[in-house]
Amino acid sequence: MRKNFVISKQSDIDGFNSFKCSLCGEEFKLLASEVQEDDVLELFCPNCGIPSPISTYYTEDLIDHAKTIALNEAINMINDMFKRLEKSTRNNKNITFKRGKSLPNTKPRTLYEKDDLEQIEFLCCNKKAKLSLLSKTIRPFCPYCGVN
């Protein structure tokens, strides 16, 4: 059985979401609306300039949050299974099944956007990003086309 989860994270006040390069660890922000455009499949890290699929840029808090939700879903399934088992053996004289306490769910990590980056505009693609002050100063690569 396969289930899909929709994880939504609120963008910051300007509509930006965080991304993190898995290769160099650079954190930056892009406009969610621009990243979701159909022709954007890969992003170039503004710091190291290496292109990777968008999914490799998800930040740890997002992955953590997704894991918790998946775990809770599994726990709920187990709880349900025991509930059904108890119900189905209720009138059975040979087997009595009494379930214990339900397994508790974990509260997913709260997702929020920090606002500690500098906004920059990449004229090559006419798109905006937010970068750390350091990356902004050292001629960053455009996340969309990789131009430096």
Which residue in the set 16, 18, 20, 21 belongs to the binding site for Zn ion (CB under 5 A)? 21
Distances in Å between the alpha carbon of 140 and those of 49, 59, 87, 98, 136?
A: 8, 20, 62, 62, 6
Residues 6+ apart with CB under 8 A from 142: 44, 46, 122, 124, 125, 127, 148
From candidates 31, 40, 111, 125, binder to Zn ion by CB under 5 A = 125
Closer to Zn ion by CB, 48 or 70: give it: 48
Binding window for Zn ion (CB under 5 A); candidates: 32-40, 42-50, 72-80, 128-136: 42-50
x/- letters, 45..84, toward Zn ion (CB under 5 A): x-xx------------------------------------
Q: Nearer to Zn ion by C-beta: 21 or 117?
A: 21
Which residues contact residue 73 at a Cβ distance below 8 angstroms, ignoring those fewer than 6 apart?
A: 3, 5
Interface ranges with Zn ion (CB under 5 A): 21, 23-24, 26, 45, 47-48, 122, 124-125, 142, 144-145, 147
